[in-house]
Structure 1
């Protein structure tokens, strides 16, 4: 399985690139890579062009496919799929620093056939905490070509994340504003 770190967002509410925000002295993207590493043979970071050189040279950092540049997370997923061939892709956004490998393990245990699988917890959908089959690539490309950028309609199966919350209540929290992690 290939890991895809989505680090190409505009971070409008945050005010600076979230991938490089820190928590306990560690960049957000490093937490995401740590969550993917136990399950993935390689990891791709999909970033904005102006941020590529900010990542360590040891990482495989790419930008969106030119025809879909700047079209959101779905473009990042497609870019990852087109960068390294694999049967499966685990996707995590860089702004969930409390995510850990248990999310990927749970998703892997619930994949079936070529279905895309994402986490749901207590009625809240997390479409970017997901696993995708390579067979979803044409559907993703078609959606982007029709200017449909939403990830949710392409998810086939939602996995209950409640069990994971018992371990760590903030596991799915994404960080959208500076100072949001103060006091944790």
Structure 2
């Protein structure tokens, strides 16, 4: 598929994986780790990739090319908002695609749906599943308009991404739950593994 030249992808791998019990970015689904899977998917839509990591965390040098810029969280223990802010600061394109590392059902087609939904009025494009849940950790953000708002939220300690969305003009895109199914526990991963052959 054609790759837009105004897009940078940010892989969010700075979480603590507390519920998983170990680093879930390294957990395998099939022949790849979850982080490698998401990296391969975003490469289908852009060659520009950044990796968000904890300041004291794994840089995944054995999993992803060393040339990918590693962005430590600018504020420790601030959750994915800190990673998003790091990506907004580092991006040299007008759009940032922020993607969590724990989405083993993600496909290039999912991302293509988001890219096609961009408009001049929206400063974020966010998928929504049939249960009404919005998914800010697989979403597009317009860098010039979102960065100052995200920076202000981080400085104020308002860390919830859903609170950030309330400040943005958001275009929602209905998507199937499978592509956005995130993995929080080993049981989640086992269930995904059982269902995965049926979904492919």
TM tier, shorter chain? 0.7 to 0.9
Q: Distance in 2 between matches of 1:59 and 1:27?
A: 17
State yes or no: 1:174 paired with 2:198. Answer: no
Q: Distance in 1 between matches of 2:40 and 2:26?
A: 15
Quote how far apart the aligned CAs of 1:77 are: 0.9
The counterpart of 1:60, out of the listed 48, 53, 69, is: 69
Quote how far apart the aligned CAs of 1:128 are: 1.0
Contact 1:46 1:63 in 2 (8 A): yes
State yes or no: 1:100 paired with 2:82. Answer: no
Report the CA distance shift for 1:28/1:5 in structure 2 as closer, same or farther (over 3 A): same
Contact 1:34 1:100 in 2 (8 A): no
Deviations 1:19-66 (A, max 9, x none): 11111020101111122112223111111233115544243322112x
Contact 1:45 1:61 in 2 (8 A): yes
Partner residue in 1 for 2:3:
none
Quote how far apart the aligned CAs of 1:158 are: 4.3
Partner residue in 2 for 1:160:
173
Which piece of structure 1 moves more, 23-32 or 174-183? 174-183
Contact 1:22 1:28 in 2 (8 A): yes
Q: What TM-score do you get using the length of structure 1 for normalisation?
A: 0.88
What SS does the aligned partner of 1:15 have?
Answer: coil
List, as ranges, runs of 4+ consecutive aligned residues in structure 1 with deviation greater than 3 Å: 53-56
Contact 2:50 2:69 in 1 (8 A): yes
For structure 2, the 5+ residue unaligned runs are 1-6, 196-200
State yes or no: 1:126 paired with 2:139. Answer: no
Report the CA distance shift for 1:53/1:6 in structure 2 as closer, same or farther (over 3 A): closer
Q: Which has the higher strand share?
A: 1
Partner residue in 1 for 2:153:
143
Contact 2:95 2:140 in 1 (8 A): yes
Report the CA distance shift for 1:26/1:72 in structure 2 as closer, same or farther (over 3 A): same
Quote how far apart the aligned CAs of 1:148 are: 0.5
Aligned residues: 177
Q: What TM-score do you get using the length of structure 2 for normalisation?
A: 0.81
Contact 2:34 2:101 in 1 (8 A): yes
For structure 1, the 5+ residue unaligned runs are none
The counterpart of 2:9, out of the listed 3, 11, 29, is: 3
